[in-house]
Amino acid sequence: MFATLPGLIRLPFVMLLLAINLVLHVLPLFALTLVKVVVPIRAIRLACSHALILIAESWIAFNSLMFEWFTRTRWQLDGLSDLHTDGNYLVLCNHQSWVDIPVLQKIFNRRIPFLRFFLKSQLIWVPLLGPAWWALDFPFMKRYSKETLAAHPELQGKDMEATRRACEKFRHMPVSVMNFVEGTRFTPVKHDSQSSPYRHLLRPKAGGVAFVLNAMGDALHAILDVSIVYPNGPHTMMDLIAGRIRDIRVHVRELPINDQLRGDYEGDAAFRERFQTWVNALWADKDARITRMLGSPGSATAGD
C-alpha cells in the first residue's frame, strides 16, 4: 500500500508506527501484569494471563500488517493449513538472523498457541521489550562458558533447571515452545569452525530439545519442523523495516511425538545416542529441503 513511498519518508514513518505500536500495547500489558502479580485470586490471575496473550497477539498482528503495507517482500509459505490453536507444539527451526523471530511470529500468530522463546538472560534489560517478554512468561536462560563452568562447577545444570521450571509452567497453559536447535545464528565462520556436515546449517544441539520433550510430557501434541530461507542471504532487522528483503520462504511440517522421543537424555546413554541420531537425521532432511527451497539447479521446489 505504502511501499512506493520514497525511502526517506517511508523508513522514519515505519519506525514511528512501530514505536507507537510498542507503547500502545506495552503499557496495558504492564498494567495487567501488575494486577496479576498483586491480586492473589487464581481466577483473576488466569483472566489476566488470557488478556496478556490477546494484547501480545494484537501487537504482533499490527507489526505484521505494517510489513505488508510498507514492503514489497514476497512470501512463500508451505505447511500452514492444518495447524490448530488448541494444539500445543514444540517448534524447531534453523536460525540465521534476528529477522527469524518476526517471521515466525507473523506466520504463526493466531494459528497456534502463543509462541514463546527461550531468551538469553541479558535480554531482560532491553527497554520495554525485556519486561514485556518477562510479563508474557518467556523463559530467560543464563548460558555459561566452558571456562566459567570449570571455575564454578556449582553452576553446572543451572540452565536445565531453568528449563524445567519453565516447562512446568507451560504444562498448564496453551503454549508453543520455540527452540533454535543450533543454539546460535548461522555464519560461515561458525560453520567452518564446527566442521559442520551440513551445507546450510550448523550442528544441532540435541540436549535442549530432548529435555523440553521429556519435561513437558504429553502436554505437547506435535513438533513443527520449520525451515526459513532468505534467497538473497540473511538480513538485519533494519533491512526488514526498510523493505530491503525481497523474498522470504518458509516450510512447515508437522511431526508426531511418540514415546521414543522421551527419555533421560543425561542419564541414559542408549537413549541419548538414539535421540542424537534422530536429531541429526532431522537436520539432514532440513539441509536438503533448504537446498530445494533455494532453487538449486535440478532440484524440486519447496512444499514437499
Task: Quote the pLDDT of residue 181.
Answer: 94
Whether residues 21 and 4 share a domain: the answer is yes
Same domain, 63 and 180: no
What mean pLDDT comes out for the span 108-125?
88
Q: Are residues 97 and 54 part of one domain? A: no
**pLDDT above 70 as % of the chain:** 89
Domain co-membership, 203 together with 280: yes
The candidate with the shortest Cα–Cα distance to 137, out of 157, 160, 158, 114, is 114
Give first-to-last CA distance, the chain, whole Å: 32
204 pLDDT more than 90 = yes
Q: Give the pLDDT band of residue 144 (cuts 50, 70, 90).
A: low
Residue 8's SS3 state is helix
pLDDT of residue 143: 63
Domain membership flag for residue 14: yes
Give domain status of residue 37, yes or no. Answer: yes
Cα–Cα separations (whole angstroms), residue 88 to 138, 205, 215, 256, 304: 16, 22, 14, 12, 23
Whether residues 184 and 53 fall in one domain: no
Kindly state whether residue 133 falls inside one of the protein's structural domains: no
pLDDT of residue 32: 93
> Which residue from 170, 157, 172, 251 is spatially nearest to 213, judged by alpha carbons?
170
Q: What is the per-residue pLDDT for 300? A: 35
* Listed range (3-12, 33-42, 54-63, 137-146) with the worst mean pLDDT: 137-146
Whether 185 and 49 map to the same domain: the answer is no
Q: Residue 303 falls within a domain, yes or no?
A: no
pLDDT of residue 296: 46
12 and 97 inside one domain: no
Q: Which residue has the cell 512446568?
A: 168
Within a domain: 131: no
Same domain for 107 and 8, yes or no, is: no
Alpha-carbon radius of gyration of the chain: 20
User: Predicted confidence band at 219 (pLDDT cuts at 50, 70, 90)?
Assistant: confident
pLDDT value of residue 298: 35
Tell me the residue range of the domain where 242 lies.
Answer: 74-114+174-293
Report pLDDT for 233.
84
Residue 299 lies in a domain: no
For residue 287, the tally of other CB atoms under 10 A from its CB is: 17
Instruction: Answer yes or no: do 53 and 88 share one domain.
Output: no
At position 199, the amino acid (one-letter code) is R
Q: Rounded mean pLDDT of the chain?
A: 86
Q: What is the pLDDT of residues 257-268, one digit of tens each?
A: 998 999 988 889
Residue 274 lies in a domain: yes
Q: Are 178 and 194 contained in the same domain?
A: yes
To the nearest whole percent, how much of the chain has pLDDT over 90?
Answer: 52
- pLDDT grade for 171, boundaries at 50, 70 and 90: confident
Domain co-membership, 217 together with 289: yes
Burial class (CB in 10 A: 0-12, 13-18, 19+), 154: exposed
Higher pLDDT, 113 or 217: 113
Q: Give mean pLDDT, residues 253-281.
A: 93
